[in-house]
Each structure stands twice: as structure tokens, then as C-alpha cells.
Amino acid sequence: MKHISLMGATGSIGTQTLDIIKEHPSEFKLVAMSVGKNLELTRKIIRDLKPELVSVSEKSAANDLKAEFPHISFTYGEEGLTEVAVYHRADILVNAVSGSIGLTPTLNAIREKKTIAIANKETLVTAGHLVMEEAKRNQVSLLPVDSEHSAIFQALQGEKEKNIERLILTASGGSFRDRTREELESVTIEDALNHPNWSMGAKITIDSATMMNKGLEVIEAHWLFSMAYDRIDVLLHKESIIHSMIEFHDSSIIAQLGTPDMRVPIQYALTYPDRLKLPSAKRLNLAEIGKLHFSMMDLDRFRCLKFAYEAGKAGGTMPTVLNAANEAAVAAFLDGKASFLQIEDLIERALSNHNNISNPGLLEIQEVDLETRKYVNSVL
């Protein structure tokens, strides 16, 4: 029986993680969870799965819930996230919170020797060097949940990282795959939230439309698999059936395939190195699909991907700026305060405005993150 603490339980990855836990009650037990503001769903999860510790965003919500569920411990705010991440009865932390707010709890959980199943890519983008150093020092495994990285991780089993020629991340192209840049000028929030293959949280759905999601994933892959940026390629693949591939030195390519269903990579991170049946998952029928399509990625069409490669290669605090500017710009778009194409302009301005700091520590990263968000909001 694995004891799980889950950050972001009310989100898209969070609720799918709970589905896996419910589907295998003799394998997994939810012991701690964090949520944000969705208290209705929080109450339902508490009744269903009876975690021992729950963290919410606001203190008042923690007090209200304590009155309703006196046998459960409640906490709140950013410190609450860390309390959940390091909960003493948990073996594994599933980090499915959205944004760089996941960084400090992750570092603390690593220091407490928790295995980390990481969906929260912003944590690796903003401070990949710190997370990887800490994981190495504490001999803690970081198991990818993001489907591309899970695919690479699965293709790597029984292989050695030193035999890799390059990684090939596949990209669906997001909601606006077939639109020209001119057509992007007038797109609405509703258009952007309508992803063709995956149903996900709002922030990552916008990231997929701008292609920043793939940019964040390139940086995530750089850290998870110690791979130089010029050996990470992105290929457009509109069906999202091949989740990513590794090309080895001898030209052999190993790919991982499946229907687009995040529960599969989530479950693999929870059961690794074993596999469990997942009866509710739809099996892939290639004969029914017939054809798969691939095309080159255009970095002028998808400027955010170019920014991510540049920020990743520059290193230091540039990826922190990339991530924080993107979080602030996407939040502004979702608030109706910025247009879709303004997202990339805001990121470009934040990057060119920043004086890079090499090998930053946690405090510098937190400062740069905050400064960048302020800068983006002041430009707006």
C-alpha cells in the first residue's frame, strides 16, 4: 500500500490522480492533499477518501472545514502546501499544483526523502538546477507525470542516458494549430480554451495554444534527462498518439504510444517500476486510426517555443523570467486584460528587460519571479 500526498487535488491532474487511487483501493491511500479555492469539490473528496491532512488557500476556509470535519487536520496558505508535501505518513508526493508556487514544497519534500511524481512543470522550469541538485543529494526519484516525459522515461527503461542521440517531443499544436498569425489577432478566451485532444486546466490549455507548453516541456526534459538543448527536438503530431520518442546513437527510435489519457502516465508514476491494469482506460486501436501525421515545428509561427529554447540555453534566471512572465501574461489573458498575441509580446519584453543572474539560489529565484510578475503587470 502506497501512501500518497497530493498537491492540487481539485485540478485536472489532481482529480485524475484521485480516480486512479479510487480504482485501486488496495494499492493506494490518499493521506494528505492541498486544494486552492474549490471548496465544494474539496468537501466531496474529503467524504470519499478521508485524507488525514488538508491544506486550503484561505485561513477562513480551513476554519470552516474544521468545524464540519473535526477528525481531519486542516492547514492553509503556502506553508500549508509544504505541510502536505512533507506529511510524515506519505511515501510519495504527487505535485499537481499549477505554477511556480510548487517549488518550495517540492524542495522540502525532497529533503524529507519523499518520492516525487511531478506534473507541475513550472517548478522544474523556474529552478530545475536546484530541484535536480536536491534530488541527487537526497537520492530521491523524480518521476515524470507529463505525458511526453513519461513517454521518454518509459522508452528509457533498460537503456542508458549516455546512448541517447536526441529526444523528440511531440506537440499536438494546441487549439490554434491551423490558424495563421493574422487569424490569431482576434481569438477569444473561449476559442483558446477549446483544445482538440486533451481536457486540462485553463493555464496549461492556453500554454498549449501559444506553444509555451512545449517550450516549458523542452526545459523540463533538459533537467529530467540531463539533455543539451540542441539535442531536444519538437515535432508536430496532431493526433497525440505518440507521446514522445528517443533516438539512440545507432539511429534506432523508441516511442511510447497510447490514447490521449493522462491517467496512464499518472498511474505509471505511482506504480513505477510496476504496471497495474487500468480497466477504465481506452485501448489504442491503430487499425481504426489508420494514419498518423507529423510535420516540422515553425519557430516563427510559435514564438513562445523559440523564447523557451533561448531562455533555457541562456540558463541562470532567464527560465525563471520566462515562466513568471508567462504565468502573469496568461493570467491577464484569462482575466480579459490582455489579447492572445500580447502574451508572447509581454514575455519577450520581460526577457529583454532582465539582467541574467547565473547559478541563482532559491531567494534570488523567488525575487526574480516576483519582480517579473510586477514588471508584466506594470506594462499592462
- CB nearer to ligand NDP: give 198 or 248: 198
Rule CB under 6 A: choose which of 110, 200, 234, 245 binds ligand NDP.
200
Stretch that binds ligand NDP, among 103-111, 116-124, 160-168, 341-349 (CB under 6 A): 116-124
Beta bridge partners of 170: 235
Q: Is 120 in the site for ligand NDP (CB under 6 A)?
A: yes
With a CB cutoff of 8 Å and minimum separation 6, the contacts of 322 are 125, 215, 219, 307, 308, 311, 347, 350, 351
- Report angle CA 106, 109, 111 to the nearest 5 degrees: 110
Rounded to whole angstroms, the Cα distance separating 114 from 86 reads 7
Shortest Cβ distance from residue 267 to ligand NDP (Å)?
14
With a CB cutoff of 8 Å and minimum separation 6, the contacts of 230 are none
Rounded to whole angstroms, the Cα distance separating 50 from 43 reads 10
- CB nearer to ligand NDP: give 9 or 131: 9
Where do contacts with Mg ion occur on this chain (CB under 5 A)? 146-148
195 has binding-site annotation: yes
- CB nearer to Mg ion: give 31 or 209: 209
Q: Is 13 in the site for ligand NDP (CB under 6 A)?
A: yes
Phi, psi of 20 (to 5 degrees): -65, -45
- CB nearer to Mg ion: give 122 or 148: 148
DSSP code per residue over 22-66: HH-TTTEEEEEEE--S-HHHHHHHHHHH--SEEEES-HHHHHHHH
Rule CB under 6 A: choose which of 36, 144, 258, 316 binds ligand NDP.
36
282 has binding-site annotation: no
Here's the x/- map for ligand NDP, 202-231, by CB under 6 A: it reads as: xxx---------------------------
Stretch that binds ligand NDP, among 83-91, 114-122, 332-340, 361-369 (CB under 6 A): 114-122
Q: Is 14 in the site for ligand NDP (CB under 6 A)?
A: yes
Structural contact between residues 254 and 248, judged by C-beta atoms closer than 8 angstroms: yes
Stretch that binds ligand NDP, among 11-19, 164-172, 313-321, 351-359 (CB under 6 A): 11-19
User: Can you state the angle between helices 202-210 and 318-334, rounded to 10 degrees?
Assistant: 110
Shortest Cβ distance from residue 71 to Mg ion (Å)?
38
Rule CB under 6 A: choose which of 72, 156, 197, 198 binds ligand NDP.
198
Q: Is 97 in the site for ligand NDP (CB under 6 A)?
A: yes
Q: Which residue reads 508584466 in cell numbers?
A: 376
Shortest Cβ distance from residue 80 to ligand NDP (Å)?
8
Phi, psi of 212 (to 5 degrees): -65, -35
Q: Is 244 in the site for ligand NDP (CB under 6 A)?
A: no
3-state secondary structure of 311: helix
Q: Which residue reads 468537501 in cell numbers?
A: 43
Structural contact between residues 211 and 231, judged by C-beta atoms closer than 8 angstroms: no
Q: Which residue reads 491544506 in cell numbers?
A: 55
Of 47-86, which residues contact ligand NDP (CB under 6 A)?
57
Rounded to whole angstroms, the Cα distance separating 131 from 112 reads 13
User: In terms of Cα–Cα distance, which of 342, 301, 300, 306 is closest to 325?
Assistant: 342
Whether the upstream peptide bond of residue 273 has omega within 30° of 0, thus cis, is yes
122 has binding-site annotation: yes
- CB nearer to ligand NDP: give 9 or 368: 9
Shortest Cβ distance from residue 7 to ligand NDP (Å)?
7
Enter the C-alpha cell of residue 94.
Answer: 504527487
201 has binding-site annotation: yes
- CB nearer to ligand NDP: give 38 or 356: 38
313 has binding-site annotation: no
Chain contacts with ligand NDP (rule: CB under 6 A): 8-14, 34-38, 57, 96-99, 101, 119-122, 146, 198, 200-204, 262
Binding site for NADPH: residue ranges?
Answer: 10-13, 36-38, 120, 122, 201
| Binding annotation | 10-13, 36-38, 120-122, 146-148, 172, 195, 201, 208, 213-214, 217
Q: Which residues are annotated as a binding site for 1-deoxy-D-xylulose 5-phosphate?
A: 121, 147-148, 172, 195, 208, 213-214, 217
Which positions make up the binding site for Mn(2+)?
146, 148, 217
